[in-house]
């Protein structure tokens, strides 16, 4: 009797790839707000899946071979710049890090809600992020003028690690798009804004106390508008510990000065 080794039918990589090929159906949101004749709609494109195909590759192929007018954003292709976030079958995520193999054969792509639409899948997250940042004053507030002759301010490594963990945010906007409060209320600063305050609160160079932080997030556009349902943490592609930070901030803002 043949051993299991001997019974195995040899397959080449090419044959295996062929066997795994799928026809993908893309339903892509199309709308150009600058064109008065444009109507919001979904358009359908088909594409043969290849090994290791990401949504970045697929969208570029569609644009190159089928529709040069398709608008979408990519910069780094490595999950670092945050510009490629979109709704992928209804869930906010980074298109450059999403393998088509992880999705069903019908893939519906739409722009992130909340943010200003530039066209098709492209949104202006920068405008929203800047507004949020100015309202929350998301920069280190020091006493007096900075000493420009000093090379750097030293910090305990453990504290620097804690800050680094929260600094990994790439401002992709997924947590805002996945947040019920942010979708309903444009002025809500979202988990991205609250995470920035949590990061500054850890920074020994920032001289603000909890009363000063309360001034910017102690309201319904800040921590008290958060419904704690954690859609933000579920969709954050960088897996930031948003749940812990939001709970911590809420506790601190409720008990400030006590
Ligand atoms: S907290 Fe996460 S989901 Fe939100 S902007 Fe930062 S990286 Fe993106
Ligand atoms: S926990 Fe708060 S910030 Fe996160 S999705 Fe829910 S309401 Fe938005
Ligand atoms: S292209 Fe930069 S995160 Fe996707």
Specify the CATH number for the domain of residue 33. 3.10.20.30
pLDDT at residue 6, rounded to an integer: 38
Residues 207 and 248 in one domain: yes
pLDDT at residue 4, rounded to an integer: 40
Pocket test of ligand 3: the residue of 59, 80, 123, 126 to mutate, having most ligand atoms within 8 Å of its CB, is 80
**Residue 3 confidence (pLDDT) above 60:** no
**Residue 5 confidence (pLDDT) above 90:** no
**By residue range, what is the domain housing residue 59?**
19-110
Residues 134 and 236 in one domain: yes
Residue range 86-117, pLDDT digits in tens: 999 999 999 999 999 999 999 999 999 999 99
pLDDT (average), residues 197-223: 95
Among the atoms of ligand 2, which is closest to the Cα of residue 231?
5
**Residue 150 confidence (pLDDT) above 90:** no
Number of domains in the chain: 2
pLDDT at residue 212, rounded to an integer: 95
Residue range 174-191, pLDDT digits in tens: 999 999 999 999 999 999
Q: Is the CB of 175 under 6 A from ligand 1?
A: yes
Residues 131 and 58 in one domain: no
pLDDT (average), residues 61-66: 98
Q: Which ligand is nearest to the CA of 78?
A: 3
Say if 39 falls within a structural domain: yes
Tokens read off for 257 = 């000065």
Q: Is the CB of 240 under 6 A from ligand 1?
A: yes
Residues 219 and 104 in one domain: no
Q: Is the CB of 179 under 6 A from ligand 2?
A: yes
CA 248/CA 165 separation, integer angstroms: 15
Residues 99 and 160 in one domain: no
Q: Is the CB of 245 under 6 A from ligand 2?
A: no
CA 178/CA 175 separation, integer angstroms: 5
CA 23/CA 19 separation, integer angstroms: 12
Say if 7 falls within a structural domain: no
Q: What is the CATH number of the domain that holds 134?
A: 1.10.1060.10
CA 56 to ligand 2 centroid distance, Å: 28
**pTM above 0.85?**
yes
């Amino acid at each position: 009797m043949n051993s299991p080794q001997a019974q195995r039918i040899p397959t080449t990589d090419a044959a295996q790839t062929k066997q795994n090929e799928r026809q993908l159906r893309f339903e892509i949101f199309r709308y150009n707000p600058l064109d008065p004749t444009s109507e919001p709609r979904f358009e359908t494109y088909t594409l043969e899946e290849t090994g290791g195909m990401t949504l970045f590759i697929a969208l570029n192929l569609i644009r190159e071979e089928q529709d040069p007018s398709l608008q979408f954003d990519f910069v780094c292709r490595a999950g670092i710049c945050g510009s490629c976030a979109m709704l992928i079958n209804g869930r906010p995520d980074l298109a450059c890090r999403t393998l088509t193999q992880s999705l069903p054969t019908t893939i519906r792509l739409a722009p992130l809600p909340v943010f200003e639409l530039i066209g098709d899948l492209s949104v202006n997250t920068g405008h929203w992020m800047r507004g949020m940042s100015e309202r929350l004053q998301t920069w280190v507030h020091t006493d007096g003028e900075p000493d420009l002759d000093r090379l750097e301010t030293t910090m305990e490594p453990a504290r620097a690690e804690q800050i680094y963990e929260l600094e990994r945010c790439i401002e992709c906007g997924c947590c805002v798009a996945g947040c019920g409060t942010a979708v309903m209320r444009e002025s809500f600063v979202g988990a991205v804004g609250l995470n920035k305050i949590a990061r500054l609160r850890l920074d020994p160079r920032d001289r603000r106390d909890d009363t000063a932080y309360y001034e910017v997030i102690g309201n319904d556009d800040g921590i008290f508008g958060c419904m704690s349902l954690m859609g933000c943490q579920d969709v954050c592609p960088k897996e930031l510990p948003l749940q812990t930070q939001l709970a911590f901030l809420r506790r601190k803002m409720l008990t400030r000065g006590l």
